[in-house]
Amino acid sequence: MKEPIFLKPIFQEKIWGGSRLRDVYNYPIKSLLTGECWAISAHPNGESSVRCGKYKGLGLGELWDNHRKIFGYYGSQEFPLLTKIIDANEDLSVQVHPNDDYAKEYENGESGKTECWYIIDCTEGADIIIGHHAQTKQEFINKIKSGSWDQLLQRIKIKPGDFFYIPSGTLHAICKGTLLLETQQNSDTTYRVYDYNRRNKNGHLRELHLQKALDVITIPHKERKSNPNLLQTNGATITTFIEGKYFTVAKWVIKDQLSMKQDQPFMLFSVIEGKGVLKTGGQKYELYKGDHFILPYELGDFNIKGNIQIIVSHPSSNIERKIDK
């Protein structure tokens, strides 16, 4: 296949969602409590579909199952990644995700969930929660029982352009006023630890998953900072945030043009700002803010021209993590 695969996102209503997916990206959301855009997803809880071209209307999961050559026969039973844009109009629950082994045993074979965040925008003074201050599991339990959340949770101030790596086992929460792009393993397993005693639309407290959370949480917390690698060309800047066990994620800022070769099994692209034109195989494709597409295996050379910012990712295997221990 020698052409890009443009995708139609799925939108998820959340108790903490808002309207910025419409206001910033002009997505046709139906609810003003829309929290997530599942932009590139083959997960059954929210599967994006092919927007145009030969496979128009086909779900990404079906495309993966029946046309694996498009993805270079990548050695994974399921499509390995999931790209989201998240609008946190209110605080998300404090939560933790399991690793692959735990999820496989206790979540019907689901993948674990390691993820990362690129901060697209945030309100002044916004923060996020990554990690905690407990040194032992008993201390962690005691802080929960006493409701000492301010003493337990580690908060970090954020600004647009920040990047954070969230391995499975890391206590975390996206907080009010944050718009971010998340690249993650293809999983929808979350264990809530604290939810601010909020009630859902039916008036019920949302379920917590304390025992499972205690099973998987990393204690004491381990700081994981990425070491971005910067590549400057005449017309663009490529910042590679992470090359890890599950994914490689970079930001491409193109001011003029960038010529590359697609040398991965497949690559995922999310346009977060600006517009441009993709040229490949003698064809041109207009790119706009909010577009999401995949460049398939053996696409070959391509060129992107314009004033445009893109988050680019691809699945990784047998690549040593470039993360500070």
- Catalytic residues, by residue number, are 192
Nearest in space to 228 (alpha carbons), one of 218, 215, 238? 238
Residue 1: Cβ within 10 Å count: 19
| Residues 248, 278, 179, 19, CA torsion sign | negative
Strand pairing partners for 323? 226
Tell me the pairing of strands 257-262 and 247-254: unpaired
| Dihedral angle of Cα 246, 40, 268, 258, to the nearest 10 degrees | -140
244, 272, 260: which is closest to 305 by C-alpha?
260
